[in-house]
Structure 1
Amino acid sequence: MILGYARVSTVEQNLDRQLDALTKAGAEEIIQEKITGTKADRPELNRLLDKLRPNDVVLVMDLTRLSRSTKDLFNLVEQIEKKGANIKSLKESWLDTTTPQGKLMFTFMAGISQFERDLISQRTREGLEAARARGRKGGRRPKLDQAKKKAIYDLYSQKKTPLKDICDMFGITKPTLYKAVDEMSKKASA
């Protein structure tokens, strides 16, 4: 079965152009959704994925209707392939896992994407190692305990010590200072 998936981001937008293209391309059933593509939970897309059977084809007008990121796309294609189904895009002809050439192209694109993620990870590790060699630590700073938060609040409330000096004393950033002050002022007023 050929299952079409049509999506627009807002209720005001119209699905007609997608519906016409998917019908013309042979979609036997079209799942429609009006929700932003950045949402991880898209009920109608989930319904389509649950419906898939071996040899079904998910047909989309273009990849932006299906996903907003490469990572999301690869996850969706993996879910589709686990069901024994295929995916085909009308706009991106290279995405057609119903053909050996399409599978090759998708595998190639997935490989490039994985290579890019690995390079980013490698550069991050190298940057952290270089920072450590210079005496700096990477990662999150330890959480402030209540005694330090109280001291920060007291210094801030006295309005005698510059914010930068308070931050330097405790090894924190201004947002962390404001968060501690906000938390302690709520406790003081309770």
Structure 2
Amino acid sequence: MNKENLFALLIPKNCQRIASYYTENISGTQLDRPELNRLLTDTQANDILLVEQIDRLTRLNDHDWKQLKRMIEEKGIRIVSMDVPTSWQALDNNALTHNDPIIKAVIDAINNMLIELMAAMARKDYETRRERQRQSIQTAKAAGKYKGKQADTERHQKVRIFREKGLSLREIAEATGYSRSQVCRILKV
């Protein structure tokens, strides 16, 4: 089960205001996420993407992370994350308009480095957890204790009853919360 990824889009003016919230139910390991795509479409240059943690934005592999980062940079969006304290500088209007290019370059470099580091750590954590899960399943199977995810026979029976009543695949999927492909798999058994 995936945790929700919550993004907020801030519009920098004289003061910060939250322009929109985006709640994603698709894993941060996927580049193609509807809410993230909508956020990128809605943004303008100098908008701020506020995330709770970098791992809510990305657990992508290196290639996909570079592609997402490029899309963010091309839009002129700045990332602010609760787990990257120096990124909060983007919320300070005085820091945004500071005339010292050296200070701005140093802060940008530090933020970029920390965001890159946090993104790499998020991916590494994801891969480590997946490997440990695989090992545990393998051990449980060897001991004869692993049964896998058990089918919800009650819900499956509802699928069959709805089909007997003449409901379409789409209607059955909506009524049961399954995808259409899952409904098809259940009906084949």
TM range (shorter): 0.3 to 0.5
Indicate the structure (1 or 2) with the bigger Cα radius of gyration: 1
TM normalised by structure 2 equals: 0.46
TM-score (norm 1): 0.46
